[in-house]
Copies of this chain bind each other. A is one copy, B any other.
């Protein structure tokens, strides 16, 4: 078996996803690679004595990429199987950042109130749990940010969207396959922002942030176009909608899932709508990013053989 190639960002990490940056690597259809990723703070939070508003740089969520997938063209779909996530340090950090999070006013939901206090929580990763005092958080790693370049836009690495991006949905985890639209030659894949664990909603805006090595396998599905990211696990097919208000993210996710059932699984449109009414699942990935990400899921056992 061939050794897996490692991709390390040369020069600066990327803070946008778009078609304007030079690829850091070129990979073949079917290739498996291991990608080194920074944490969402670029490693700038290391201690509970840090004050985030002082430690953080002007841009957040550094991405490794773009990775050019040979043969991928606009109109294709890029299937990214997440093989493994291996942390490159034994601790993780979360914190409160002023005017950022789910239970505070923000730059978009503006009020005249004072911000919440700043605080850092540092966790020790110990096998399958992350510890902080008495707390034991189960380790459930996933990549918070994963996406391809939009056709002409360069979007902030903090933004989720129809290109993927900073979705912060726990189902982008090892064992699952993420389907992303290809809108630029070579797909131009980016990833970063690994999480040791994160609850649904990513309530305060900051999961258990960590640096990591992410091993993925790329596969091009030629001539197949998708509008929004999709995920497949052993048990579910899933779609991710990212929008504000949150009900629009919910509408997108379920409308895309109706579409998937219709296009690929033989359902009549309104039968798909009906079935998902009774067996669909819908959880909030994040309620904190520039737009919210919701995941709609259909258990595979309800799909025809």
A242-269 interface (Cβ within 8 A of B): 243-248, 250-252, 254-256, 258, 269
Could you list 27 examples of A-B contacts with CB < 8 Å? Answer: A16-B153, A16-B154, A101-B273, A103-B112, A103-B273, A104-B112, A105-B105, A105-B111, A107-B227, A108-B248, A110-B256, A113-B116, A134-B304, A199-B282, A200-B281, A200-B283, A201-B277, A202-B277, A204-B273, A204-B277, A207-B277, A243-B244, A251-B287, A281-B283, A282-B283, A282-B287, A283-B283
A113 contacts B114, C-beta separation under 8 Å: yes
A185-206 interface (Cβ within 8 A of B): 197-206
B251 contacts A111, C-beta separation under 8 Å: yes
Taking CB atoms, residues of chain B closer than 8 Å to A130 are 278
Taking CB atoms, residues of chain B closer than 8 Å to A119 are 270, 274
Q: Given A103-B273, A111-B251, A119-B270, 6 more contacts at CB 8 Å?
A: A20-B20, A103-B254, A107-B252, A198-B277, A203-B276, A246-B247
Taking CB atoms, residues of chain B closer than 8 Å to A197 are 278-279
Taking CB atoms, residues of chain B closer than 8 Å to A245 are 244-247
Taking CB atoms, residues of chain B closer than 8 Å to A16 are 152-154
Tell me if A219 counts as interface (CB < 8 A to partner B): no
B121 contacts A111, C-beta separation under 8 Å: no
Taking CB atoms, residues of chain B closer than 8 Å to A155 are 153
Taking CB atoms, residues of chain B closer than 8 Å to A105 are 105, 111, 113
Taking CB atoms, residues of chain B closer than 8 Å to A201 are 250, 254, 277, 280, 282, 296
Q: When A and B form their complex, which 5 residue pairs have the shortest distance between CB atoms, in order from nearest? A: A245-B245, A246-B246, A199-B280, A110-B255, A154-B154
CA A16 to CA B155, docked complex, whole Å? 11
A88-117 interface (Cβ within 8 A of B): 94, 96, 101-105, 107-117
- Most chain B beta carbons < 10 A, residue from A18, A197, A246: A246
CA A276 to CA B169, docked complex, whole Å? 15
Tell me if A284 counts as interface (CB < 8 A to partner B): yes
Tell me if A26 counts as interface (CB < 8 A to partner B): no
CA A278 to CA B141, docked complex, whole Å? 12
Taking CB atoms, residues of chain B closer than 8 Å to A111 are 103-105, 111, 113, 251, 255
Taking CB atoms, residues of chain B closer than 8 Å to A207 are 277-278
CA A250 to CA B296, docked complex, whole Å? 16
Question: How does the 8 Å CB contact mask read for A288-299 relative to B, with 1 for contact and 0 for none?
Answer: 000110101000
